[in-house]
Amino acid sequence: MEKSRFSIAVVNLFLFVVITKAIESPQYTALHKESEFEIRLYRDSAWMSAPSTQISFQKATKDGFHRLFQFIEGANLNFSRIPMTAPVLTSIVPGAGPLHSSAYFVRLYLPVKFQSTPPTPLPELNLKPNSWSSRCIAVRKFSGFARDENIVEEAEKLSVSLSRSPWANATSSKTLDSCKSNGGVATY
C-alpha cells in the first residue's frame, strides 16, 4: 500500500511539473526579493484585454475571463485556438466605472506566437489587444483565491512592505524610469 501511495505522489508531481511547464507566462527578471514581496521587471509584451464595468472584483474577473476564454477557444476571425497562458491579470481603475465606481480590465498574456499579430476577436466579445512596454511590478504572493473580501487587505500588506523597503520611493526615483506603477491582481 505504501508503494502505491508513493507512486501516485510521484505521478501527481510529474503531472504538475509537466502542466506547469506547458503554460506560457510573460518573461521577467526578479530585481529585488524579500520575504513578503519581490520586484519584477517584465519585458515588452502583448495582452488581450476585456474591459468590465461590474461592481465586484470577482464578478468583473469572471465576466472578463469568460470572454477571454471564448477568444482563446476560437471566437476570433481566424478561428484560431490559442494556448492558455498565465497569469490572468485583473487591473482596477478607481472611479472609471458607472457612478464613479471602479472599472476593471481583465487581461490574458498572449503566447509568443501571437505577440506581434494576435487574432482579431469577434466584435461581440468586446476585447482589445493591449501592448505593454517594459515595466516593474511589485508582486506579493498569498494563498487562496483573490476575492472581494481579501484584495484590499493584500494590497495594503504589499504597500506596507514596500514602504519599509528600498523601493519606497521608486515611483519618484530618476534611476528607476523603467519602473511604472501598475495596480492589479494576477491569478495563476
Query: Which DSSP string do the residues of 59-101 spell out, in sequence order?
Result: HHHHHHHHHHHHHHTT-BTT------BS-EEEEEETT-SGGG-
Q: To the nearest whole number, what is the mean pLDDT of the chain? A: 82
- Name the pLDDT band for 63 (thresholds 50, 70, 90): very high
CA 117 – CA 4 distance, rounded (Å): 48
pLDDT reported for residue 21: 53
Please give the distance of CA 7 from its chain centroid, rounded to a whole number. 34
What is the set of domains in the chain, with CATH numbers? 29-187 (3.20.80.10)
Q: Which amino acid is at 50?
A: A
pTM, whole model, 2 decimals?
0.78
pLDDT in tens, 102-150: 789 999 999 999 999 999 999 999 999 999 999 888 899 989 888 989 9
Torsion, CA 45, CA 103, CA 62, CA 80, rounded to 10: -40
* More confident of the two residues 174 and 103: 103
